Chains A and B, each alone.
Chain A
Amino acid sequence: EAGVTQSPRYAVLQEGQAVSFWCDPISGHDTLYWYQQPRDQGPQLLVYFRDEAVIDNSQLPSDRFSAVRPKGTNSTLKIQSAKQGDTATYLCASSLEGNTEVFFGKGTRLTVV
């Protein structure tokens, strides 16, 4: 069974540039999560979906961050006008409703200079 796939693995931007991260969850998983993990900190939830619906995006900086999951499968997280404070690893995870385990992708390491 393929795991959670993320791309790209690395990204380096200048402040003000835009970037998109892509996530392919485990086949059949209905719940998809995006986490931000700054260096030497724990993952912090940005947004999560059940199927195509947003369940909670309260931690998503809405002025510059957006996330979609239009068909309830793959998802894209986009940062408009990146700032140095966005430097972090962005993790995608998925799970199946009724199953407690959450599976993580390898993450995208973003550096904003």
Chain B
Amino acid sequence: AQKVTQTQTSISVMEKTTVTMDCVYETQDSSYFLFWYKQTASGEIVFLIRQDSYKKENATVGHYSLNFQKPKSSIGLIITATQIEDSAVYFCAMRQTGFASALTFGSGTKVIVLP
């Protein structure tokens, strides 16, 4: 069984600065995907960025980047140049590769971007 743990419940940052969120995971699978999703105040869940376990390079999309440390089973999310609209709850999730697997989510980290 897979397990995803986010220990930071809430982070406040000033606008235009960088925020980093932690996530550790447990899995028996040799190949898997790691994801970060954002849930807005309206409840909408939006995909942000993905890391494939077999890739050594950290994924980057826009102002989102990942800090993938496979030996530590860790996948951190870094948001640079934060904006007010980055205020949301961020979920780390994983799924195994292969046939019809489901996402396992962490408990989420609430980010508050202050003006």
A109: chain B residues at CB < 8 Å are 43
Main secondary structure of the interface of A (DSSP, over half): strand
Q: Are B105 and A106 in contact (CB under 8 A)?
A: no
Partner of B33, one of A40, A48, A100: A100
B105 x A44 contact (CB < 8 A): yes
Q: Contact mask B64-93 → A, CB, 8 Å, 1/0?
A: 000000000000000000000000000101
Chain A residues with CB under 8 Å of B107's CB are: 41-42
**CB of B99 within 8 Å of the partner chain:** yes
Are A48 and B108 in contact, CB atoms less than 8 angstroms apart?
Answer: no
Binary contact track B21-64/A, C-beta < 8 Å → 1, others 0: 00000000000010000000011111100100000000000000
Q: How far is the CA of A62 from the CA of B107 in the complex (A)?
A: 24
Chain A residues bordering chain B, tally (CB within 8 A): 25
B102 & A41 in contact (Cβ 8 Å cutoff):
no
CB neighbours of B91 from chain A (8 A): 42-43
Residue among A31, A43, A44, A109 having the largest count of chain B Cβ atoms under 10 Å: A43
Q: A89-B43, A100-B50, A106-B43 are in contact. Are A42 and B105 (CB under 8 A)?
A: yes
Contact of A107 among B43, B46, B99 (CB under 8 A): B43
A33 touching B45, Cβ below 8 Å: no
Least Cβ–Cβ distance between B36 and chain A, in angstroms: 12
Which of chain A's residues has its CB closest to B106's CB? A42
| Residues of chain B lying within 8 A (CB to CB) of residue A45 | 102-104
Task: Give bound CA distance, A106 to B50, whole Å.
Answer: 21
Residues 84-107 of A contacting B (Cβ, < 8 Å)? 89, 91, 93, 97, 100-104, 106-107
Complex Cα spacing A101 to B44, Å:
15
| 20 A-B residue pairings within 8 Å (CB atoms) | A31-B100, A33-B102, A33-B103, A35-B105, A40-B108, A42-B6, A42-B93, A42-B105, A42-B108, A43-B103, A48-B100, A50-B99, A93-B103, A97-B99, A100-B33, A102-B103, A103-B47, A104-B45, A106-B42, A106-B43
